[in-house]
Protein backbone atom coordinates (compact mmCIF):
# COMPACT_ATOMS: atom_id res chain seq x y z
CA UNK A 1 0.00 0.00 0.00
CA UNK A 2 2.81 2.37 0.92
CA UNK A 3 4.51 1.55 -2.36
CA UNK A 4 1.36 2.50 -4.33
CA UNK A 5 1.11 5.81 -2.45
CA UNK A 6 4.73 6.66 -3.28
CA UNK A 7 4.15 5.80 -6.94
CA UNK A 8 0.95 7.83 -7.00
CA UNK A 9 2.77 10.79 -5.42
CA UNK A 10 5.61 10.53 -7.96
CA UNK A 11 3.10 10.36 -10.81
CA UNK A 12 1.33 13.44 -9.43
CA UNK A 13 4.60 15.36 -9.13
CA UNK A 14 5.53 14.33 -12.66
CA UNK A 15 2.17 15.46 -14.08
CA UNK A 16 2.32 18.85 -12.34
CA UNK A 17 5.98 19.27 -13.23
CA UNK A 18 5.30 18.67 -16.90
CA UNK A 19 2.27 20.97 -16.77
CA UNK A 20 4.40 23.82 -15.42
CA UNK A 21 7.09 23.22 -18.03
CA UNK A 22 4.39 23.26 -20.73
CA UNK A 23 3.02 26.54 -19.38
CA UNK A 24 6.04 28.57 -20.39
CA UNK A 25 5.07 32.21 -20.52
CA UNK A 26 6.55 32.40 -24.01
CA UNK A 27 8.52 35.45 -22.99
CA UNK A 28 11.27 34.46 -25.40
CA UNK A 29 8.99 34.53 -28.43
CA UNK A 30 10.39 37.02 -30.85
CA UNK A 31 8.38 39.75 -32.54
CA UNK A 32 7.56 39.42 -36.24
CA UNK A 33 7.73 42.07 -38.97
CA UNK A 34 4.95 41.47 -41.50
CA UNK A 35 5.01 44.47 -43.87
CA UNK A 36 7.00 47.60 -44.66
CA UNK A 37 5.89 50.52 -46.83
CA UNK A 38 7.23 53.82 -48.12
CA UNK A 39 5.02 56.91 -47.84
CA UNK A 40 5.97 60.33 -49.22
CA UNK A 41 6.31 62.83 -46.38
CA UNK A 42 3.88 65.20 -48.12
CA UNK A 43 1.25 62.44 -48.15
CA UNK A 44 2.00 61.57 -44.52
CA UNK A 45 1.58 65.19 -43.43
CA UNK A 46 -1.72 65.39 -45.35
CA UNK A 47 -3.00 62.31 -43.47
CA UNK A 48 -2.68 59.96 -46.45
CA UNK A 49 -0.80 57.26 -44.53
CA UNK A 50 -1.82 54.52 -46.96
CA UNK A 51 -0.52 56.09 -50.20
CA UNK A 52 2.32 53.61 -50.54
CA UNK A 53 4.93 54.24 -53.19
CA UNK A 54 7.93 52.46 -54.66
CA UNK A 55 9.23 55.44 -56.63
CA UNK A 56 9.92 59.01 -55.53
CA UNK A 57 11.82 62.00 -56.91
CA UNK A 58 15.28 62.86 -55.58
CA UNK A 59 13.81 66.08 -54.17
CA UNK A 60 11.08 64.31 -52.15
CA UNK A 61 11.26 63.24 -48.55
CA UNK A 62 9.78 59.91 -47.54
CA UNK A 63 8.86 58.06 -44.37
CA UNK A 64 8.52 54.40 -43.46
CA UNK A 65 5.42 52.64 -42.17
CA UNK A 66 5.49 49.06 -41.00
CA UNK A 67 3.27 46.39 -39.57
CA UNK A 68 4.41 43.90 -36.95
CA UNK A 69 3.22 41.33 -34.45
CA UNK A 70 4.58 40.93 -30.96
CA UNK A 71 3.29 38.41 -28.42
CA UNK A 72 3.90 40.87 -25.58
CA UNK A 73 3.93 44.63 -25.12
CA UNK A 74 7.69 44.74 -25.12
CA UNK A 75 9.01 46.08 -28.42
CA UNK A 76 11.51 48.76 -27.52
CA UNK A 77 13.65 49.57 -30.58
CA UNK A 78 13.95 49.27 -34.33
CA UNK A 79 16.74 49.09 -36.88
CA UNK A 80 16.83 50.53 -40.39
CA UNK A 81 19.44 49.75 -43.03
CA UNK A 82 19.50 51.43 -46.44
CA UNK A 83 21.52 49.77 -49.20
CA UNK A 84 22.33 50.69 -52.76
CA UNK A 85 23.28 47.37 -54.31
CA UNK A 86 25.66 45.73 -51.83
CA UNK A 87 26.80 49.09 -50.40
CA UNK A 88 25.34 50.10 -47.04
CA UNK A 89 24.38 53.78 -47.23
CA UNK A 90 22.99 54.02 -43.68
CA UNK A 91 22.45 51.63 -40.82
CA UNK A 92 21.26 52.46 -37.33
CA UNK A 93 19.17 51.18 -34.46
CA UNK A 94 16.99 53.51 -32.40
CA UNK A 95 14.98 53.12 -29.22
CA UNK A 96 11.41 54.35 -28.87
CA UNK A 97 10.56 56.58 -25.92
CA UNK A 98 8.09 54.00 -24.63
CA UNK A 99 7.27 50.33 -25.14
CA UNK A 100 5.20 49.72 -28.28
CA UNK A 101 1.86 47.83 -28.19
CA UNK A 102 1.67 44.11 -29.00
CA UNK A 103 0.44 44.08 -32.54
CA UNK A 104 -1.11 45.94 -35.41
CA UNK A 105 -0.16 48.53 -37.97
CA UNK A 106 2.37 50.88 -36.57
CA UNK A 107 3.10 54.15 -38.30
CA UNK A 108 6.34 55.59 -37.11
CA UNK A 109 7.90 58.95 -37.51
CA UNK A 110 11.28 57.38 -37.94
CA UNK A 111 12.50 60.52 -39.65
CA UNK A 112 12.31 62.14 -43.04
CA UNK A 113 14.76 60.73 -45.52
CA UNK A 114 15.97 62.00 -48.88
CA UNK A 115 18.22 60.03 -51.22
CA UNK A 116 19.99 60.78 -54.50
CA UNK A 117 18.76 59.06 -57.68
CA UNK A 118 19.18 55.30 -57.70
CA UNK A 119 17.57 52.06 -56.55
CA UNK A 120 17.72 51.22 -52.86
CA UNK A 121 16.79 48.37 -50.57
CA UNK A 122 15.47 49.41 -47.17
CA UNK A 123 15.55 46.81 -44.40
CA UNK A 124 13.69 47.12 -41.08
CA UNK A 125 13.57 44.96 -37.96
CA UNK A 126 12.37 45.39 -34.37
CA UNK A 127 13.78 44.20 -31.04
CA UNK A 128 11.97 43.46 -27.78
CA UNK A 129 13.18 44.20 -24.24
CA UNK A 130 14.69 40.73 -23.93
CA UNK A 131 16.84 41.31 -27.02
CA UNK A 132 14.76 39.07 -29.31
CA UNK A 133 15.20 40.41 -32.83
CA UNK A 134 12.42 40.00 -35.38
CA UNK A 135 12.82 38.90 -38.94
CA UNK A 136 13.93 41.63 -41.34
CA UNK A 137 11.48 42.94 -43.95
CA UNK A 138 12.66 44.80 -47.03
CA UNK A 139 11.21 47.21 -49.53
CA UNK A 140 12.76 48.45 -52.76
CA UNK A 141 12.68 52.18 -53.43
CA UNK A 142 13.58 53.78 -56.75
CA UNK A 143 14.62 57.43 -56.59
CA UNK A 144 14.42 59.35 -59.88
CA UNK A 145 16.00 62.66 -60.89
Q: Between 82 and 26, where is the model more confident?
A: 82
Distance CA 50, CA 59 (A): 21
pLDDT score of 12: 46
Query: Does an H or E element contain 22, and which?
Result: helix 2-22
Candidate from 13-17, 92-96, 138-142 with smallest mean pLDDT: 13-17
Q: Which residues pair with 38 in a beta bridge?
A: 53, 64
Q: Over the chain, what is the mean pLDDT?
A: 80
Residue 17 CB contacts under 8 Å (≥ 6 apart), including other chains: none
Distance CA 81, CA 136 (A): 10
120-141 mean pLDDT: 94
At residue 58 the predicted structure's pLDDT band, cuts being 50, 70 and 90, is very high
Q: What is the pTM of this model?
A: 0.74
Distance CA 26, CA 44 (A): 36
pLDDT of residue 59 exceeding 70: yes
Domains, the chain, in order of start with CATH, read 27-144 (2.70.50.30)
Amino acid sequence: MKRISVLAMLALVLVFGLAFVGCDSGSNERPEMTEIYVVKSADWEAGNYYNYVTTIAATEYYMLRWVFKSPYEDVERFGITIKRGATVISSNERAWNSIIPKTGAFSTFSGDYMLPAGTYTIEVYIVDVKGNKSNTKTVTLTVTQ
